[in-house]
Amino acid sequence: MTSAETRSRSGAALLRPAVALLGLLYLALGIAGFLTPGTPALGIFGVTALLNLVHAVVGVLGLLAATRRTGSIIYCWVVFTAFAGMTAYGVLAAAFGNPEDPIAINWADNVLHGLTAVAGLVLGIAGARATAPHPTKGTSA
């Protein structure tokens, strides 16, 4: 077994637990936001009913997606796309400071969402590479 095959298989083995951990993190953040209305969740993250709901749904979907490798890969790409968009929206919302913003994203949320988008991208690529067929020795690709 080559080192590339070993890396590919270890990446595939880590995909589902990483997705489950990401889902658990967001579910906990969503629940914490609902339990602490009016004060920042965990002391720094913005709290609105809509943002808490989004976090909780992302968490539940992550836990469900972690049950299958294909579901984990799809979840990673959806998370990458959605959180890249949320980060862009959050940067603009935080920079211009609209008090009527229904989501009330702050800079801590932007950092969290940006890191989540990067994690979704990295995990999505690793999962997709692990499922791609590898050429056998003696054949050309």
Q: CA 25, CA 58: separation in Å to the nearest integer?
A: 10
Indicate the Cα dihedral angle 50, 74, 64, 18, nearest 10°.
-100
Q: What is the pLDDT of residues 19-43, one digit of tens each?
A: 999 999 999 999 998 998 777 777 7
| Whether 46 contacts 99, CB under 8 Å | no
**Vertex 27 angle, CA 21 and 33, to 5°:** 135
| Whether 130 contacts 11, CB under 8 Å | yes
Q: What is the pLDDT of residues 50-99, one digit of tens each?
A: 889 999 999 999 999 999 999 999 999 999 999 999 999 989 888 887 77
Neighbouring CB atoms inside 10 A of 104's CB total: 18
2: pLDDT strictly greater than 60:
no
Per-residue confidence at 129, pLDDT binned at 50, 70, 90? confident
Q: Running DSSP on this structure, what letter comes out for residue 41?
A: B
pTM for the whole thing?
Answer: 0.80
104: pLDDT strictly greater than 60:
yes
